[in-house]
Every structure is written in C-alpha cells, then in structure tokens.
Structure 1
Amino acid sequence: MGGDHHRPTRALYVSSLLFCLVLLNLKRSIVLANNEGADSPAVSPAPSSSPTSFKPSDSYLLNCGSKSEMKMDDGRTFKSDTETSSYLSTSEDVQASVASIPESAFSNSTPSTLKDLYTSARIFPSDSTYSFFISKPGKHWIRLYFYPITHQKYDLKTAVFTVQTDKFVLLHDFSVDDESKVVFKEYPVNATQHFSLIFKPQKDSCAFVNAIEIAEIPDELLSDSASSVPQGNTLNGLSNYALEVSYRLNMGGPTITPRNDTLSRTWAPDTPYNLFPEGTEAAKGTTVKYRPDHGMTRLVAPDMVYLTADRMASKAYQQTIAPNFNLSWAMNVDGTFSYLIRMHFCDVVSKTLNELYFNVYINSLMALSNLDLSEKAGELNTAYYTDFVLNASLITNDSITVQVGPTTNAGLPNAILNGLEVMKMSNLADSLDGLYAVDGSYKGPGASKLKIVAISGLALAFVAMLFLGVVCVRWKKRPQDWQKKKSFSSWLLPIHGSKSNFSSRKSSLFGSRKSKSGYSSVYSNGLGRFFNLSELQNATQNFDEKTVIGVGGFGKVFIGTLDDGTKVAIKRGNHGSEQGVNEFETEIQMLSKLRHRHLVSFIGFCDEDSEMILVYEYMANGPFRDHLYGSANKPTLTWQQRLEICIGAARGLHYLHTGAAQGIIHRDVKTTNILLDENFVAKVSDFGLSKAAAMDQGHVSTAVKGSFGYLDPEYFRRQQLTEKSDVYSFGVVLFEVLCARAVICPGLPRDQVSLADWAMQWHKKGMIEKIVDPKIAGTICEGSLKKFAEAAEKCLAEYGVDRPSMGDVLWNLEYSLQLQVASSQTDRPEDKSNIMVLEKGSESGEAKSNPAVAVAAESDDSNVTVGSQVPFPNAASISGR
C-alpha cells in the first residue's frame, strides 16, 4: 500500500523532469538559432535583446570622481578613476558627488539610463592630463559626460575650460550653458599609441568631467571618402579629420539607448527636427539584411534603425502638390565648420524591386539624384548608407536641412529615410570648437600676417610716405564732384524718405492684446504698416502649409499676396513661444527707418492676438551666390551683370555707412545676403547682426559675430567693429564673384582653402586671370579685370585704416564697369556660347524653377531652414529682413 501511495508522486516527478529537459533543449535551440542568425544575412528583430556587440582592442571606461565602479544596464562597467589613478596626472585630488540627478536633466539624446555616471565628478583646479596606452592606433570614440554637481569650494556652473588631445581641440573655453541639463559630447578621433586627454581651466576657474569613455572604433564604421554637395565630386582623406557627433536620429522610431546599439550609441527620435510631420508617416519592416561585401554590418547601425523609416504620408502624395513635396528635417549647427552627413536607408516600404526612386537634397542643393535603393542595396529590406560632405560656405543661417523627395519621373511618388547622422569636421586649426590650435596659436583669417615689427620713428615715417606714394599711383581716388558726374542721386535717399505705397494705419497698441513685444503705447507711424491678422490670413490662405517657403527658430516664412496683388514674404513667430521677441523689436525699430533701392524693404508687422509677424518685400531671384555656383540650373551671369550686381550691393552698403542718420555696420556681408529681385537688381538683406556705429569712438566694441571666410581678421582680434569690417567682407565677396568658388574649401590643399588668401597670392603674382571663373574667362577686358581685382585687394588690407571706404570701392567698381562697357562696344568676345544673357525685365531671363529642387529662404533667424516645395513660379527666395 505504501508503494502504491507514492507511485503518483514519482510519476509526477518524472513528468516534471522530462518537461524541464524539453524546455532546456528548446532554449538551447533558440540560442543556437540566434547565434547562427548573427552571421546570416537576415534576422528577425528583437529590440529587447542585446545586439551583436563589438569587442574593441582598447576600451577605457572611467567613472570620474567616484570611489567605486559603476555597472550600466548595457553590460559595461565604468571603473573609478580613483582606483585607476595611474591614468591621471593632476596637481590636486578634488572630487565631488551627489546622491542622484533629476530626471528633468535628461532628454532623448541623453537618456537617463546612464544617469548614475553624472552623480560624481573629477575637478581640475589646474591643467591635468589623462594618459592612455592605445594598442591599436586609429579612430577611437572619445565620449565625455558633464553635469555641474555641487561642490563646497568650486562652482562647476561657472567653470570655463578647454579639453584637447595631443593634436585636436575638442572644446575651447567650454562652459555648461544650461546648468539644469546634462551635456554629452561624442568624438571619433584618431588616437596615437600614447594618447592624452588634457583639461585646461581658464584663469581663476576650474575644469571638471563626470565620466570618460575611450574605445576603438571598428574599421568599417567610417569611410575615408564621401560625396561632395552639390553632387559631382568625391572627397578623400576624411580619416585625417576629427569629428564631433552633432545629431544621430532614428527616423520613424523611438530612442535607441546604448543597451540596444551595437557600439553603445544613442539614437534620438527625429520628430523634433521634422519640419512637416503632417506630411510624414512612419513605416516599419520585419527583417533587415546586411551585405558585408558592400561594407555593411550591424556595426554601422543597429537593426532598430533600419527597421523603421519615415515615408511620405499617403494623403501628401495623393494631392496635387505631390511633385513639389519633400520630407524635410532641419538641425542647428555651427556654420563656421564643414559637416559629414551620413544617411541610412533600407527599403521597408516597397513590394517589388525598382519601385522607389527619389532625390536627396542638402541645404537646397542636389546631393543625390534618382536614388534607386534596389540598385544600391541589391535587395529589398537591405541596409545601405551614403556619406556627404557639406562645406561650411554652403551653410546659411547656422542650419543644415536634409530633404528627400520623389523624382519627376517616379511611378509612385514617395521617398524614405531610416536614419541620419550629422558630424562636425575639424577645421584648419585641428579644432572642433573655434580657431585656436592645441598650442594656443590662432589659425583664423589673417593668421599668417599677425606679426608685430618694431620700427623706429624715422623708418615709420618713411614707410608711410612710401605707402601714400603707391596709393597715389595705383589707387584712383574718386574726384570730389564724383556724385555730380554720376547719376547716383537716384539711389541715395533720405532715411525718412518718401512713404511706401502701403499707407500707415494706427495699430493696436504694442503691449495690448497679450502682445509679446513689450512695447506700450507705441503706434505704427514711422514703424511700417500695421497689418490686421485677418489681412495676413487672407494673404496666405489662412497660413496654409502650401505657402510655406522657409522655417526657422523664429517661425515659418510664408509667401503671400496682398489685396492689391503685391507678393510679400510673411514671417510668423512661433505661436505661444517667447523666442524671437528681441529680434521682433529690433527688426521693426531698425528696418522701418531704412529706405533704399538696394536694401530689401521692410513693409510692416502684426502684433495682434499674441502674434509676432513681420512682412517683407519678396525677392524672386534669390541669393546672388546661387547664380554664381550654388545652383546648376541657373544660367551663367555675364561679367557685366556681375559688376552691376556688385555695384548695387556696394550702393546699399554705402548708404548704411553714410546715408543713415547714424551709421550702420551690417556685420554679415556675404553673397547669400545679397538678394536679387525679378529684374536682377541687387538688394542687401539680413540685418540681424547689424550694429549702429559709435561715431564718437570710430568703432563698436562687441563680441565677434559673422560668417567664417568673410570675417575681418582685425575685428576678430580686437573685437572692435568698424565700417571697414564690412569693407573687408565685401572684398571677399568681390573675389567670390570673380572666381565663382566657395570662400572656404577644407578639402583643397592648405594654400587654397581660403579664397581670400588664395586670390591675393595670384594677384600679387600678377596672374589673377588664372583663377577667373572659366564660364566667363575671355569675356573680361584687361582694364576692367585689373581695376576690379585692385579694388578687391584694397578691401582685404590687414588693417582697417588701410582699406578704402565703401564709397571709394563703389567708384572703382563703376570705373571697372565703364571699361568693360567701352571694350564690349569695340571688341566683342569671340565666343559667348556658354553664357545665357539675361536681359533685365525679360521673362526669359528668369531661372526656371525645378519642382524637385527645394526652395531657399533668407530670413533674420539664425536657424532659418528650407521647407517643402511651393507651387509658385520662380519662388527662389524671399527677403527676411
């Protein structure tokens, strides 16, 4: 009986044991299947599982200022730099720690999964160095974590310091701008065998860091070459540059944390950067394939990037605007640097091969035309990426816009993007932050000329007399009565000249109706026309998205038509945002007082119902630069037309300097800020950086702002802004017009990178004709070229006192034009077959718009970017100021 009593129990035990064995075998089969799948071309996604990892030859993970190691949820362990103190050389052992970091300090790009790394910090009262041995020299990640936690002696919120390697400057005079947010910096940098990371606090300050990562980067991740923008050339030698990751976006998907990335990277959602989310829908695949023979492995990007994508929403491409609509993303950047842009693709939307064709644009320039993912990747659901380099000279308003849109011959209009990486490239100073090298030397404009020579009083007087003699011989000073001899009275208008056709009307009081501007009891008289909100709604079809031609930090820019048929550019501030209040006030106060044929006109504003709206003259032919080298579909401007445009811009600047009640310094003169109307009349725009001149001092002491390549080196050194700073920038513009090339080209040999330095070298050799734009070479008479180049050279004098006034420059450009006109009347060029002459006022002279090319917009916002296409002819650009 006893045995029978226990028989069911034993049977149940045996059954349970067999069941467990079955589960173990099943689990083992699953593990083996997953391991085999790691090497196979296709896998099913498993976002919750750990991705295929890379085991670097060198990996240093330091939890700085902590007394213990820290293990992350992704499996990595950060060791205490106190325990591994052999890496650190510092004069003082200063540490800080807190119990926790608030969740509000983190964002999608800095996930809180690594929050424990920010709870401690190493503080450096003086220069300090971390030294590492690198067994496999080459590209390595440098990841730095910063959060100003509390310390009883050192205030980390006010710390200012520099971080550099032996060769590259990573951060120069860095401080945490927003003390409530953590800061994460990520750099792919070449590391030598004996690699150093150096922290240099500013005088009377300190440096700090919360955590450091240094790890090898797999060879297949970064290529040595990339395509140029616009499309056409391949740039090599990228491995010599240090990079800084500015953006890493997962299109159509969620945040990817280091736990789910192959190389412990973070990928943020693209939503905050999507300019037109209403025209975008997310797509999702089920499998992704990698082709190692094409250089594609999971190390390039994890499955979760390629399995999601943004595509054109069905409702968008079913409407009539389909050929003009582009998916668009905009990101703020430092416009003085060039950028490496990587775009990730995986066709998870097509049912068959060769079904999806689209174009890729970067900053309105064609980066890739008729991209066929089936041809590039070989199969559907197959990972593919492509790299581009965007030159600093092609970045306007400190913004990069990436767009994908259908081609005109596409069967089904559609376009996709799976992932996007934007990386800053080191500059001539081997820096990723400013123009100072690791030895502290300045490598910016005019650096080779910064030499001070001690000269006796007699020698100085002799040099001055010699200089005056040269000026008398070579530089034709304008006659005293030059204005009487020339018909310039038509463009030199009084500052409160004739009223525009738009009648001024009494506005609602600034400060009322929940006004943002802060004005009180101020009427629109003298400040331009006051528009009712309903008027601007009617002009833009109630701010219809179809009329958007630009988007910036201030808000969207619309093209509108007023009741009298006048086309205008309407810039609407972000509703409910306080951003741009100062710019709104400054624009109204300054631009409403400026009236000149060669300045873009400010028409009026709206300050009703918490709106901040500015209205400007519409400029049909866009930026001057686009007609020089920025757009392939625009006809070549003749030399005479270029001269006339330069003369118009010079007239506008001359008026700013001398015609206004108080002189105004533009401070950002460049070819993108010279706009052309429907008759190709030049008008200076973009007064966001302008300053009223201090007549009593002769200069304005102010922080350096402007565009790299055009910046006056004397202004940069002394931080004293003068009218001659505009003259220097205009000299760069003149050489840009003559040579039709970007002012900064990092990919060229060092002596050719800077257009100003390169052109001056050829001019000193007396061979300026060697670098003239080939499209107009042979059409310029010798005298006109000589006079023009002479004017440009004088503008680029090292010191402002040696530069001519804008009036003198204008006179010499007029003289150059006279010589060209006289020559063309007696000796026509033999061949003008490569030039399409644009007659002023001729409809045939306007550049025809390409519906697949994005529309550029000029605005006063520092981060204005390009939106979707607009169904308006010749909507090349608008004036933003």
Structure 2
Amino acid sequence: MKSWDLFFLHFLICLSIVTSPKSSAMFLPKDSYLINSGATTTINMPDNRVFKNDPQAASFLDSAFDNLASVPRTSYGVPSPIYLSARIFTEDATYSFPLSRPGWHWIRLYFHPFNVTATNDEYNLTQAQFSVKTDDVVLLHSFTVSDRWESVFKEYLLNVTTDRISIHFNPLKDSFAYVNGIEFVSAPDFLISNTAMNLAPVSEFSGLQEIAFQTVYRLNVGGGRITPFNDTLGRFWDNDEKYIVSKSASQNVTIPASYVKYPEGSSDLIAPNWVYASAIQTANANVSQSILNVTWNMPVDSSFSYLMRLHFCDIISKSLNDLYFNVYVNGRMAISGLDLSVVADGLSTTYYKDFVLSTTSIDSDRITVQISPANYNPDNMNALLNGIEILKMSNSVGSLDGEFGVDGAMLLAVSVKKKAFVALGIILMFGVFAGIGVMVVRWYRRPKDWENHNSFSGWLLPVNNNHSTFMSKTKSTVSGSQPNGFSASTGMSVYGSGLGQSYTLAELKVATKSFDEKAVIGVGGFGNVYVGKLEDGTKIAVKRANPHSEQGLLEFQTEIQMLSKLRHRHLVSLIGYCDENQEMILVYEFMSNGPFRDHLYGKGLPKLSWKQRLDICIGSARGLHYLHTGTAQGIIHRDVKTTNILLDEKLVAKVADFGLSKDGPSMPGVGHVSTAVKGSFGYLDPEYFRRQQLTDKSDVYSFGMVLFEALCARPALDTSKQREQVNLGEWAMKMKKKGMLSKIIDPFLVGKVADSSLKKFAEAAEKCLAEYGVDRPSMGDVLWNLEYSLQLHEANPPDLAANVEEKEAEINSCE
C-alpha cells in the first residue's frame, strides 16, 4: 500500500474517533502504576502510556534479592518491548502500591521466558515455577511458561477495599520467579455491577463486587483485534474467528464506528465503539432452508464459575422492531425474543447483558454461545452478536488458579479435615453411647403389657399425622382382616393406607420355609430380608424386623412412612405387611436380579454392556429425581449406593431401602435439614459430614460415586489399593483431569463405548462429586446428562470389528 493510502486510511480512522459521540470520552485513573520490570529505561507505548524502569519503581518493591535481566530487542520477535526485560526473584518478593481511593483496579502481568545471565548466574526462565497472589486472592498457582517463544499476558480485576495492595511473588521450592511487566491501574466503579442473572437455576446472583475476576476471553465479534490504542481502559479485544464452530453459518457485518450510539447512562468505557461497529449475523438470512444459527465454543476450566458479558448493537436492521432473536448459553435459553430496538431504545445503539455461569451450568469444559432467529418475524430471520467477555470468578477460598489456592493450602485443608473428622468421630461416638442409653431407658419404661400386644402398631403409630390409624391395633389378619382389604376393627382400607395386602404370619412362614437361613438375601440393622414364594407362585421379598433393635424399629418406621406415600416405576414397591404375634414384617416386590453392585464386581455374574449400565443409571436417577420432587417437601434418600439399587428380571433399576430417608426442608428459605450424619462410608457427602446439614445434593454426591462404580466396576472404597486409589471418586476425577480416565474403566468396556458418550457420562459423575452442594447439579440435570450420554452412544456406536482387529494386532505385535 502506498504511503498516501496509509495516510488517508489513518485520517479516516482518526476522523471516526473524533466524530463518535462517546469514543473521545477519557478515563483518568486515580491510581496508575506501570512497571517495565528488569529494564533500566522507560518505555513509551503507542497509546501514550509510560512504563517506568526498575530503578524508578524500586520504592514499590520489597525484595532481599536483586536480579535484573534483559535481552537485545533484535533477538526475540516479542509482541511488545515490555517482554524484553525481566526481574528475577529467588526468594519471596512483594510489590506494594498505595491507593488514592478504594474500588475496582486492574492487575496486569506480563511473562516471557528466555535464557539470561543475571548477576553472574544463568537462568532459564522456562524452568521458573512460582505463585503470585495478593493478600486476599491467589492469582497464579504453581505457574510456569515452558515455551521460550511464548508471551503470556494475564489480566485481573479486583475490588480493593484497603488503602494499599500487595502483590507477592513466591518461588516454589528449588525454583525462582520472574515478571516482565506489571500494571496496577484504577478501573471505573460502574464497570461491574453487584448483580447479574444466574443462568442455572435462573435467578438473580448478588455479590459480584465481593469477587475477584480474571479475564479469560474478550472478543470483538466480527471485527479485528482492538489494542489499548483504541480502548481508554487499556484493554485488548481479540478477533473471534477461531472460536466460531461453523464459519459457513456466519457472516461478518461492519459499519463506521462513528455511527454507534450509547444510550443515556451508558459509556464507551463498557466497550469502545469499535466493538459495537462490527458483528456476526446468521449467513444467508431470509433464504429458506439456510442454517439460521451461529455458535461460539470457548474452552474454560469447569472447576470455576464465570461472569459472561454479551454485547449487542443492531447495525443490520432498516427499521425498528424488525429483528428478533434468541440467545443460548451452554444449551440453555439465556435471552428469548431479543428486540434490540426496544431494550436499547433505537438502532445502532449499544446494549449488554451479564450472566453468571456456575460450575453446574458448564459442560465439557467449555462455554458455548449461540444466536438463533426467533420466529416472530418470518420476513427477517436473522440474529447478531457484537462482543463476548468471559471473566473467571474467584472461588470460595479466594483463588483464581489451582485447586487449593496457595502453596501449602492443600496440606492445611487435609489437616483441617483430619481434625474435623476426629472431632466429629468423638461426637458421633458420644451420640452412639447416648443413644444406647436412651434405648435402654426406653426399653425398661416400655408398656407393661408389651408382651401381650399382638401387633407392633403401638411402637410405630403415628407414622403419618394424616393417617395415624392406618393399621389395626388388634389382630388384623387372623380375626379382623376382610377379603376386600378392610380392617374389621377400624373400617379403614389398608390398601388406601399405602401398605398393600395384609398377610398372615403363617402365609409368610410357608413362603419363606419358616424363615430359613438359606432364604436370607439381605441383612440390615432391622433384621433379615428373605426371598419367598406365595401359593400362586409369586416371588416376594420379606423384611422381618428384630423387635429388640431400637435402631431397626426407627428404620422400619421410616420405611413405612416413606413407602406409604411413594409410588414410582423406579422405586421398589411395598405390596403388603404382617402385623401379628409381635411381628413387624413388610413384603416387597421381589427383584430377581438383585443389587446393581453384584453385576459390576465380586459375584462373577455376566458383565453388563455399556447400554445396560446407562439404562440402570438412568432408571435410578429417575427414581431419585421423583423422590426429590414428587412431594411438596421432597424426600432425601440418604443412603444411595449400588447395593440399594435393585434390578428386576428385565434389569429395570429400582431404588430401595428407605430406612434412613428424611423429608426435605419445610421452612421457606431453608435449604437443608439439620440432622445427625447417617449413610455409608465411601458415599457420604463431605459437606453433610462436616456441617450435619442434609440436602438433596447429598444424594447427588452419593449417586456420583454410583456412576463411577458403574464405569470402573470397583468399590467406592477399596483399602487394598494404593493410597491415592483407595477412594474411587477422588482417583477417577484425578485420572479424568489427566486425560487418562480410559485407563481405569472396566476393561470389559474398552473399545465398546462411544468416546462422546463416555465423556458426557464422566462429566456428569464429576459434577456430582463437587465439594460443595451448591456446585452440584440437581438430580434432574444428572438425569438429562445421562440420557444424553445414551443418545450419544446410540448415535455413534463404536466400531467393534475395528476394535477387535486393533486388539488382535496388538497381541500379535507382543508375540
């Protein structure tokens, strides 16, 4: 291009900036510290910012070790002169900056590794490993840049409430730290509001001003890269091209930046007019059978939550109320029927919307944004998007990087958990002894005529305040039960009570061969479960309570309470009872294929296919979802495990054993039930264990262990394994993060599972095992993901023939 052409292009750009209504608005930061670390000269950037050299910034640094390093500019093709020098720290070092006023501030860090000689020592910056944090927030944890040609830029946004901020550089043991450049600059107070829309569940999220953020993506959709030269706040906006899933479905559109208008109360400090002057619209708009959606996929770390800001400006419509479209985020409707001419009050007028995406709403370690035309105006089927910003949110321990936050925090967390475990163990032991004491006292204070009672009703009633007389207090079967199912003594239908048919003790003795020990198929705190066969050939499961077990009585009572109000295809059904001669017996449908666990390991039964395992997990999830949502309060199972998932003759899964179940919280605004910890080790929700606060997410955690059992065909806890492999959930999640989950799945499944199906299944299991209940999905969401996993498997069945050939080739090569 000729010099005159360049001059004319530059003139048009400058004219556009000058004539734009808001583009010339300047933000003068109260605090502005710009440091060119390791350099002895200042740097004047093209946007007129000046970076001080190291001697000029020495007063901000507290370090006992002084290492400067620089490299000739001609030696490296770096994007900025800031990367041509570095300060090296072999010990902990701290930069401390005073604040003119509290509020939002940027922290920007520049890193570029190179081999240098500093103070007569050789340093290879690719070997540096270190952490960076403020007093409150971990910015980088065990950070390293291993590629000597890579330049790394990190940007953070913190709401600082003190009069000074410290930035600590902490080398890991036997390593060192370095930094090429530092910015600490004020940001506008209105840049981040305190509330945004939570995507799942849809609600208002409050408290954003108490959270620290890291910029993950800032995209100028449909336009070129924007540098601090055209952004008053010194931000970079990247082109979105590499994140579009199908470029053929999209079409770039631009207008002069001077045409962009900002509504009353808005500012170009939210985003410069260059962002709104470009957009992506759906390709082939107004053409039938065209692809009328555009999708962006952006990889993220799903262990964190994110604040996402979408920017819109209708630069394609010719008139008002002409463009209607939908916006989806991770497959969920985020905005329905968006009419920019209404929300922005005009064409070519800016509008943005903030969303919070929790870990439960992020699938496949990516955030997906999709725009699609609404059907409100068939004459203009189109949609557009102008900009995307995605900011990582600090987690509950104030970290933006790493699982545990700061170095040593993992050991601290383990130590705290051990102390909490010991303390809770002592409390539980005390509770057990106290409970035994109560049981003994209660036994000696029992009614004097207990031995003369012919039923256990006196112990169990009332099991339901609405039906406190659902069982006769006299002999119900021998002398009172009528063929039509009514009790002669009360006139109440036992069928209506939910207990089903009344059986005589004699009938059940015949069915179980006098409760033969060989007929025992299960043992619990209440007593034994026997398999039996009625005269008509129907097989039944008979649960016979031990009247001398107080624990068993309580569980028995709970079982009756729950099953009397529950009916679902994927819950084991109660079909009858026996209330005779001091007996407490419940009769259930017989599940001929027994516990799910027996089909996974330990019993030598034929292996289940991947589809069979998915069907069983889906059925179990449906049963649990019904428990959580099928009654006004919901019911929490509290003992979800593979032995409590039973299979019928067709391998249909049904959830069983409700002896530990609890009604969900009944008080408005209270999301948990405070109760003593009960359940099975290996499946216990750690948050419930710590806080003794039970929620339906406790079942979700336990079900996550069930899913990994189904995948790996091994127990949730296996003390015969190496230490790091004892807990299946922890081991599986660690292997998944390393991309090695396929190494620990059931060998029988290798080569027989579609990769996409396996990935979706493992993601569902991993999300169930989130440390905190609020970060776990609902059982309904888990069910959806499992059904999706099944769809993926059926749509993309693995090539078994190819897998067999591959295996044979592998064997031949070994021979």
Shorter-chain TM-score bucket reads 0.5 to 0.7
Where in structure 2 are the equivalents of 1:574-593 lying within 5 Å? none
Residue of structure 2 in register with 1:48 after alignment: none
1:270 aligns with 2:240: yes
Of 58, 76, 81, the residue aligned with 2:49 is: 76
Residue of structure 2 in register with 1:506 after alignment: none
Residue of structure 2 in register with 1:425 after alignment: 393
Residue of structure 1 in register with 2:154 after alignment: 185
Residue of structure 1 in register with 2:282 after alignment: 312
AA at the equivalent of 1:254:
G
1:175 aligns with 2:140: no
Offset of 1:703 from its aligned partner? 12
Offset of 1:352 from its aligned partner? 0.7
Residue of structure 2 in register with 1:285 after alignment: 255
TM-score if structure 1 supplies the norm length?
0.53
Whole-Å Cα distance in 2 between the matches of residues 63 and 113 of structure 1?
A: 14
Residue of structure 2 in register with 1:400 after alignment: 367
Residue of structure 1 in register with 2:724 after alignment: 701
Residue of structure 2 in register with 1:56 after alignment: 29
AA at the equivalent of 1:120:
S
Of 327, 332, 340, the residue aligned with 2:294 is: 327
Residue of structure 2 in register with 1:140 after alignment: 105
1:206 aligns with 2:160: no
Deviations 1:568-595, CA, capped at 9 Å, x for gaps = xxxxxxxxxxxxxxxxxxxxxxxxx752
**Contact (CA 8 Å) 1:360, 1:404: kept in 2 or not?**
yes
TM-score if structure 2 supplies the norm length?
0.57
Offset of 1:408 from its aligned partner? 3.3
Offset of 1:72 from its aligned partner? 2.0
Of 192, 213, 224, the residue aligned with 1:254 is: 224
Offset of 1:194 from its aligned partner? 1.2
Offset of 1:405 from its aligned partner? 1.3
Residue of structure 2 in register with 1:360 after alignment: 327
Residue of structure 1 in register with 2:809 after alignment: none
Choose between structure 1 and 2 for higher RCO, CA contacts under 8 A separated by at least 6 residues: 1
Of 93, 96, 100, the residue aligned with 1:131 is: 96
Offset of 1:214 from its aligned partner? 0.8
Whole-Å Cα distance in 1 between the matches of residues 259 and 728 of structure 2?
A: 47
Of 187, 191, 195, the residue aligned with 1:225 is: 195
Residue of structure 2 in register with 1:678 after alignment: none
Offset of 1:141 from its aligned partner? 0.6
**Contact (CA 8 Å) 2:307, 2:354: kept in 1 or not?**
yes
AA at the equivalent of 2:96:
S
Of 127, 137, 151, the residue aligned with 1:158 is: 127
Where in structure 2 are the equivalents of 1:833-844 lying within 5 Å? none
Offset of 1:258 from its aligned partner? 2.2
> Across the two proteins, how many residue pairs are aligned to each other?
566
Distance 1:101 1:690, change over 3 A: farther
Distance 1:596 1:195, change over 3 A: closer
Residue of structure 2 in register with 1:548 after alignment: none
Deviations 1:191-223, CA, capped at 9 Å, x for gaps = 332111111111222111111011111223222
**Contact (CA 8 Å) 1:599, 1:683: kept in 2 or not?**
no
1:37 aligns with 2:60: no
Return 5+ residue gaps in structure 1 as ranges.
1-25, 44-50, 105-111, 500-592, 602-616, 656-664, 675-681, 716-720, 724-736, 746-752, 760-771, 776-845, 848-854, 861-873
Whole-Å Cα distance in 2 between the matches of residues 138 and 690 of structure 1?
A: 53
Query: Secondary structure in 2 aligned to 1:136?
Result: coil
AA at the equivalent of 1:369:
S
AA at the equivalent of 2:194:
D
Residue of structure 2 in register with 1:489 after alignment: 593
1:434 aligns with 2:434: no
Whole-Å Cα distance in 2 between the matches of residues 295 and 625 of structure 1?
A: 51
RMSD: 5.7
Offset of 1:233 from its aligned partner? 2.8
Distance 1:273 1:493, change over 3 A: same
Return 5+ residue gaps in structure 2 as ranges.
1-7, 441-522, 533-540, 542-589, 652-681, 687-695, 738-742, 746-763, 799-815
AA at the equivalent of 2:215:
V
Distance 1:357 1:63, change over 3 A: same
Distance 1:672 1:641, change over 3 A: closer
Of 84, 99, 109, the residue aligned with 2:72 is: 99
Whole-Å Cα distance in 1 between the matches of residues 59 and 605 of structure 2?
A: 75
**Contact (CA 8 Å) 1:97, 1:150: kept in 2 or not?**
no
Query: Secondary structure in 1 aligned to 2:122?
Result: coil
Where in structure 2 are the equivalents of 1:457-472 lying within 5 Å? 466=433
Deviations 1:297-336, CA, capped at 9 Å, x for gaps = 2211122211111111016x634475xx532111111212
Residue of structure 2 in register with 1:600 after alignment: 614
Distance 1:756 1:352, change over 3 A: closer
Distance 1:295 1:259, change over 3 A: same
1:451 aligns with 2:423: no
Distance 1:35 1:387, change over 3 A: closer
Deviations 1:802-847, CA, capped at 9 Å, x for gaps = xxxxxxxxxxxxxxxxxxxxxxxxxxxxxxxxxxxxxxxxxxxx99
Over alpha carbons, which structure has the higher Rg? 2
**Contact (CA 8 Å) 2:320, 2:347: kept in 1 or not?**
yes
Whole-Å Cα distance in 1 between the matches of residues 59 and 618 of structure 2?
A: 64
Distance 1:410 1:636, change over 3 A: farther
Distance 1:260 1:620, change over 3 A: farther
Offset of 1:96 from its aligned partner? 2.0
Offset of 1:641 from its aligned partner? 11
Deviations 1:634-676, CA, capped at 9 Å, x for gaps = x9799999979977896499x9xxxxxxxxx9999999999xx
Whole-Å Cα distance in 2 between the matches of residues 880 and 672 of structure 1?
A: 34
AA at the equivalent of 1:595:
S
Distance 1:287 1:83, change over 3 A: closer
Offset of 1:179 from its aligned partner? 4.5
Residue of structure 1 in register with 2:209 after alignment: 239
Quote the sequence identity (%).
33
**Higher alpha-carbon deviation: 68-77 or 423-432:** 68-77
Whole-Å Cα distance in 2 between the matches of residues 86 and 878 of structure 1?
A: 64
Residue of structure 2 in register with 1:826 after alignment: none
AA at the equivalent of 2:58:
S
AA at the equivalent of 1:407:
A
Whole-Å Cα distance in 2 between the matches of residues 596 and 688 of structure 1?
A: 8
Residue of structure 2 in register with 1:834 after alignment: none
**Contact (CA 8 Å) 2:627, 2:637: kept in 1 or not?**
no
**Contact (CA 8 Å) 2:263, 2:349: kept in 1 or not?**
no
Deviations 1:492-546, CA, capped at 9 Å, x for gaps = 54789999xxxxxxxxxxxxxxxxxxxxxxxxxxxxxxxxxxxxxxxxxxxxxxx
AA at the equivalent of 2:593:
S
Residue of structure 2 in register with 1:391 after alignment: 358
Distance 1:117 1:649, change over 3 A: farther
Distance 1:875 1:199, change over 3 A: closer
Offset of 1:338 from its aligned partner? 1.2
Where in structure 2 are the equivalents of 1:490-529 lying within 5 Å? 492-493=598-599
Residue of structure 1 in register with 2:382 after alignment: 414
Query: Secondary structure in 1 aligned to 2:333?
Result: strand
Whole-Å Cα distance in 1 between the matches of residues 246 and 706 of structure 2?
A: 31
Offset of 1:164 from its aligned partner? 0.9
**Higher alpha-carbon deviation: 61-70 or 443-452:** 443-452
Residue of structure 1 in register with 2:547 after alignment: none
Offset of 1:481 from its aligned partner? 6.4
Offset of 1:464 from its aligned partner? 11
Distance 1:327 1:231, change over 3 A: farther
Distance 1:159 1:480, change over 3 A: farther
Query: Secondary structure in 1 aligned to 2:126?
Result: helix
Offset of 1:701 from its aligned partner? 2.1
Residue of structure 2 in register with 1:821 after alignment: none
Residue of structure 2 in register with 1:794 after alignment: none
Query: Secondary structure in 1 aligned to 2:52?
Result: strand
